[in-house]
Amino acid sequence: MLHTVNKSPTERNTLESCLKHLKKGGAVLLIEDGVYGALKGTASTKLVEQALKNYPIYALYPDVEARGMQDRVINGIKLVDYSGFVDLVAEYPTVQAWL
Amino acid sequence: MTEATGGIEMDENTGGKIKKFLYVNRKAPYGTIYALESLEVVLISAAFDQDVSLAFLDDGVYQIMKGQHTKAIDVKNFSPTYRALEGYDIEKLYVEKESMEARGLKEEDFIVPVKVLSTAEMADLMQSQDVVLSF
């Protein structure tokens, strides 16, 4: 299952809740304000790095770049463009959009 | 001299008391419309010669990040506008230290000069205002 998260981890607990519900074969795609969850040196970095050991995590680059965060993304998080977003949605049998 | 005011006669000094306005920004840009709307209201308020301050706390500190490039998400990058505020005599910009640090940010990451305040100092700033508008 592909999980998308579109809220900042310092605004809502969406990312935290999503990461707690990940199962084998799951992946996370951070979009919109969700990309703040992809950053180094923040209060939620450790949690995300821990999840990265078991699950692929992606972030939508246009959203990262819009917010000026292009040099702050955690190593290991894969950056995708809009066509990569579509590929991920096609690759996983289901998508859960965490709001 | 009435052209600029749409024909309405206005005195330089209308006798109104100058009030202290604080705009509190707590939301990240682009994900919601709050940051842009706040900036629009701040620019409008500049026309009224009031004592205006801007506070950035919680995710609001993300509004003034350097290096924003929004072409790929097809929305206007309004971050350069914060640099134009100085031209409207809006020079009091405050960032809460705790919010900045929780996000791994430093003063030099911001597009405009700011004064960094502790939470206690921010509370004092809020307390000292006549009007507080929160976004």
What does the pLDDT look like over B35-86, one tens digit per residue? Answer: 999 999 999 988 898 999 999 999 999 999 999 999 999 999 999 999 999 9
- DSSP strand pairing (A95-98 vs B20-25): unpaired
Residue pair A11/B27 in contact (Cβ under 8 Å)? The answer is: yes
Answer yes or no: is pLDDT of B1 > 50. Answer: no
Residue pair B128/B18 in contact (Cβ under 8 Å)? The answer is: no
**For chain A, which ranges sit under pLDDT 70?**
none
Residues of chain B numbered 15-44 and touching chain A (CB < 8 Å): 27-32
Q: What is the pLDDT of residue A94?
A: 94
* Nearest CA-CA distance, residue B1 and chain A, Å: 43
The 10s digit of each residue's pLDDT in B83-132 is: 999 999 999 999 999 999 999 999 999 999 999 999 999 999 999 999 99
* Runs of H (alpha helix) within A1-99: 14-20, 45-52, 61-66, 82-91
Count H helices and E strands in chain A, helices first: 4, 5
What pTM did the predictor assign? 0.88
Q: What is the mean pLDDT of chain B?
A: 91
* Nearest CA-CA distance, residue A36 and chain B, Å: 9
Residue pair B50/B22 in contact (Cβ under 8 Å)? The answer is: no
Residue pair A37/A7 in contact (Cβ under 8 Å)? The answer is: no
Alpha carbon distance A21, A34 (integer Å): 17
Asked whether the beta carbons of residue B73 and residue A62 sit closer than 8 angstroms, the reply is yes
Q: Give the residue from A42, A41, A71, A57 showing the smallest Cα distance to B58.
A: A42
Residues of chain B numbered 71-130 and touching chain A (CB < 8 Å): 72-73, 75, 77, 79, 102-104
Q: What is the pLDDT of residue B13?
A: 57
The domain covering B18-134 belongs, at the CATH homologous superfamily level, to DsrEFH-like (3.40.1260.10)
CB atoms within 10 A of CB B48: 12
ipTM passes above 0.90: no
